[in-house]
Amino acid sequence: MEKIEISSKLEYIAFVVMLFLYIFNPPFFSVSTQVLIDCVAIGIVIFDIIHKGTIEIKKSDFIVLSFFVPFLLYVSFSLLAHILFGQGYYDAYLKTYSLIIKFFLRTVFITSFFILLKNRWNISKKAALDGLVWAGVGQLGFVLLALFVRPIRLAIANMIRMNGSQSVAEKILNLRVRSYGLAENLFDSFGYVCSFIITLTFLMGIEEGKTKKIVLSLIMIIMPILNSRTGVLFALIGYGIGALLCTKKVRSLKILMRSLIAIVLILLIVMSIPTSMIPIETLKWVKNGGVEIGRLLLNQKVTGTFANIRREIRWPSSIMFGEGAAPEYLGHGNIDMGYCQCIWRYGLIGTMLLVLAFVGVFLYCYKVIAEKNMRIYVICVAVFFFAYMYKLYSLNNMGANFIIFYSLSIMNGAVYSDQCSKEYELEAC
């Protein structure tokens, strides 16, 4: 077992709990949990700036933000043109712009807030990243509880119906498939978020030579298996990229072999669980999902959920400049595909600037991150982000956005095994 050094056990627990709350946004209140934490974060960050009389920002973080300046400038002028010369959908145009501003401001403030807590509480880089792992462990616990204890699942559904999405709550109550866990959305966006945590846990296990952490990452795939086929696909891609590209080949191979033996034993235990404890609909859904993913990976055949994406594609009348708003706000019906949504909102030019901004961020982070195995995480993040944008518009998924920028900010410009000035041992995987 690895020892994570932190300044205070209670402070670190509070840090992990806040990570969990922000990433998964459980609907405890009528107001979004993320919005509540955002308000606290903005207040504390602004107070810190006023108190110190200066804005402290790492050079690497400043460079990351600078990649988005061309996109922000273009979208600002483009939406102004739509307002002045467009078809009069002013509310829709403002929603497009407000979403972009919220995405950047909220991401900057919430990332700064957690970095501020990390530094103030003397949490090491490794412990800060392990906070994401612990958040995933907590969610895994809620997933298993919702699976085996039906009243808990129904209680979560009722909480979502009261404080969150009515459509999500209805699916949980009526379909008896997916929707296992404690989060505002338990479908594809949930699987998307989980794939980052699973992959990070897997690669940290390889970097540290910890079999237990690798096994934990393999167990974590239960979360997307029960909720999101997209999340399962991304997790498998993360395992594959990590196993193929990890350095220290001999050492990594031994660790992976030990991990595979451990996971086989765990699977045997899982298979001994009576199927009567799991809803029949869930078993069928998981089996069908395995068939769909197998066809996609082994036969390159797109079926089921993955085939539905192509059927919904509709392009705006002006592909180059877009319509300045999402199609559903303009009376053209909903479109799931993220790239199609971007072209409707920002046009092809704006979409290319957005894509190039993220490409620049990932290339820069890959260059400056010290650990080779952690660079693989950047590759996985890039693959997940661009692949998910093919399926859904992801800029409004604040949990995933936060994980991306928080984890990359932690990794940039510091040594993985840095130590804290104050020592306190917390046992972790």
pLDDT category, 154, cuts 50, 70, 90?
Answer: confident
Quote the pLDDT of residue 350.
Answer: 95
Q: Is the pLDDT of residue 244 over 90?
A: no
Quote the pLDDT of residue 296.
Answer: 80
Which residues, including other chains, have CB under 8 Å from residue 320's CB and lie 6 or more apart?
A: 347, 348, 349
Q: Is the pLDDT of residue 274 over 70?
A: no
Q: What is the pLDDT of residues 40-96, one digit of tens each?
A: 999 998 988 888 877 777 888 889 999 999 999 999 999 888 888 877 788 888 888
List, in sequence order, the alpha helices (H) in 164-248. 166-175, 188-208, 211-220, 222-227, 229-245
Which element (helix H / strand E) includes 2?
strand 2-5
Quote the pLDDT of residue 97.
Answer: 87
CA distance 116 to 369: 20
Considering the entire predicted model, what is its pTM? 0.88
Longest Cα–Cα distance in the chain: 66
What one-character DSSP code corresponds to residue 255?
Answer: H
**Pairing, β 2-5 against β 425-428:** antiparallel
Q: Is the pLDDT of residue 341 over 80?
A: yes
Quote the pLDDT of residue 157.
Answer: 80
Percent of the chain with pLDDT over 90: 38
Q: What is the pLDDT of residues 115-133, one digit of tens each?
A: 999 988 889 889 999 999 9
